[in-house]
Structure 1
């Protein structure tokens, strides 16, 4: 396995944790309806084939006249390079559409028996996370087919992505003979350990026993001298040193808006996160101001409340929305931004995990023009 693929897998694991925070249960066994296990791992059974997945979440709740929601997650951790070339292109989104079409049409009922007809039905969705953004063609294609795109290419996610990069470099430095590849078996165990540390895998003992089997059967590539105990010590050390920032994943919130985009918000300071949680605990519907930086980084926007427990959340404006507001030909940027907030960002709906071990709660942040005007006046004093 090469570095790029390994980085992408780690990012998927972290996003899987993010899904749990946002109200999804991860599917990790073939005991769930519509799931089968093959040599390449878990697969969803479609109408014309089976589709392997690394991260699939099922939303905890479903409501009358809706089928339970399942969400495929695909993560692309690509390196920066020539701008357009390194953005996720239409081919990735097209593949996601093929999977969705097959699994959402995965059952014919004409010759089905009663047991099959009584089986649970699902509505599948697809989300792609990218560290280098998306091409214009990919964005338009995704919007046309209701595939969710989340752009991680902003400073808000830099420390998280740097941690993944550093972790990957250490693993490949220690366990790759050519510094370019590690065995798939070893990559699997690294991921098991990360999932355990993130709380995605409860029974680590079961997996570590399997590690011993792979170790004894010489499946671990060039790490045949690495015993289980050494592996555990190494992983603890690297995790504490390089991945402690993964704990901050709980301070990333995914919100739906009146636009077709998912808004990924972060709280950069621990105090902001704590105040946000405390504030939501008291009132899960809050009026907020929405402002942006009046400099070269106008695509970075900020949400602030007006209560005693003040917090700031930030988010990168979706590219298409940014182009609409900050077009070079637009001579009325502030009026356009004002109108865009009222049309697309009137309400931000998200799930917030208040306490460990409890289900997240639904929260609504309501854009207030009055609060925003006061915030702008205060910032300009």
Structure 2
């Protein structure tokens, strides 16, 4: 029987796959998408490395052009634990990404065979309970991206995942079925809309009429029994399965609660931001009115009122949208450790690390440029928004 902790992490990874897809990444879920770099393993998709092959539960490829760089791919791993993620996990992430980046294909240059790297891989590690100080120091040095989901801005995401995991545990208990990973993954990815858009199955075979109808059926209850899950996930030939209608109910509920609730922010810094809009349609409307560049102000909670959240608002003072996020703990702790230096350090962080943040929204790249708002009361410049 799968543990509740492991199940929560598994569900969170599927949710983050949707987040990745919404932010300009094409999900890689089939060997057919890249037979040279990908292979099928016992428990799902593997990425070939120089020394070993590595599990890729969530793997995305950036669809935007990356000038003077190889095409970018990112591993996503989620940890939903009661304790902070430690140095061991950060080291494992570095080992994986270093090994796959050392894998070379062979290209012909005239009469010679030349080893060629085809992609640049990165690794993003998400945690609902934060990271230990050694893990943060190591990850920052090795360019492993750590995303802390423990702040209040992400409570809706973690609570929805927790509820779905509890419903699945109850369903597994009532039906007395070993965890059918393939069937559950199929159900989640149908509800979340994260199957590859080329229509190929997990084994690289051509799409069938039945698979197409399952993927595009609008009914909230779709049959995802053992036959369908095995066709999509031949590595998981489960002999027993959960009741399809009840499983799809869990998957659909989770999807309805989290889809469209978060954005990824990419600052010119060695970390990424997960942004929670207070009102996503309001942000979308503001972006339409400001198509080239969005000038913003960034505020944060002081040591006197530390919620852990920062907020991005329009620089024109209109307050038409708000995007909330948390900084990496190592940076936030340094920022707030000396209350007398908070304003100065915050100014340096915003003018340097957060001066330009890119967000992928509605199929285009939006640039958020820091432009501080002018306040009549100097004390307001460091207050929580």
Query: Do they superpose with TM above 0.5?
Result: yes
Q: Which residue among 179, 185, 189 is the counterpart of 1:191?
A: 185
**Which structure has the highest helix share of the two?**
1
Q: Which residue among 347, 350, 357 is the counterpart of 1:338?
A: 347
8 Å contact kept, 1:275–1:309: no
In the TM superposition, what is the alpha-carbon distance from 1:236 to its structure 2 partner? Answer: 3.9
2:371 aligned residue? 368
SS of 2:162's equivalent? helix
8 Å contact kept, 1:288–1:371: no
8 Å contact kept, 1:289–1:372: no
8 Å contact kept, 1:267–1:313: yes
1:235 aligned residue? 247
Q: Which residue among 95, 99, 103 is the counterpart of 1:102?
A: 99
8 Å contact kept, 2:27–2:58: yes
1:34 aligned residue? 37
Write the deviation string for residues 85-118 of structure 1: whole angstroms up to 9, x where unpaired: x100111111111111111111276999979759
8 Å contact kept, 1:167–1:243: no
8 Å contact kept, 1:183–1:220: no
1:141 aligned residue? 138
1:156 aligned residue? 153
1:78 aligned residue? 81
Give 1:215-294 correspondences, 5 Å limit.
219-220=238-239, 230-231=243-244, 233-239=245-251, 241=253, 244-247=256-259, 250-268=260-278, 272-284=279-291, 285-294=293-302
SS of 1:345's equivalent? coil
1:322 aligned residue? 332
2:306 aligned residue? 297
In the TM superposition, what is the alpha-carbon distance from 1:374 to its structure 2 partner? Answer: 8.3
Write the deviation string for residues 199-256 of structure 1: whole angstroms up to 9, x where unpaired: 11266944867713889x99455x6xx6xxx41x213433455553122xx2311112
Write the deviation string for residues 135-155 of structure 1: whole angstroms up to 9, x where unpaired: 100011111111111110011
Write the deviation string for residues 235-287 of structure 1: whole angstroms up to 9, x where unpaired: 3433455553122xx2311112243221211113xxx2111111212324111
Closer, same or farther: CA 257–218 of 1 in aligned 2, 3 Å: closer
SS of 1:87's equivalent? coil
Closer, same or farther: CA 7–174 of 1 in aligned 2, 3 Å: same
SS of 2:150's equivalent? coil
In the TM superposition, what is the alpha-carbon distance from 1:49 to its structure 2 partner? Answer: 1.4
Write the deviation string for residues 34-61 of structure 1: whole angstroms up to 9, x where unpaired: 1111222211111111111111001113
Question: Structure 2: which 5+ residue stretches go unaligned?
Answer: 202-209, 215-222, 231-235
Q: CA RMSD in A?
A: 3.3
SS of 1:143's equivalent? helix
What is the number of residues matched between the two proteins? 351
1:9 aligned residue? 10
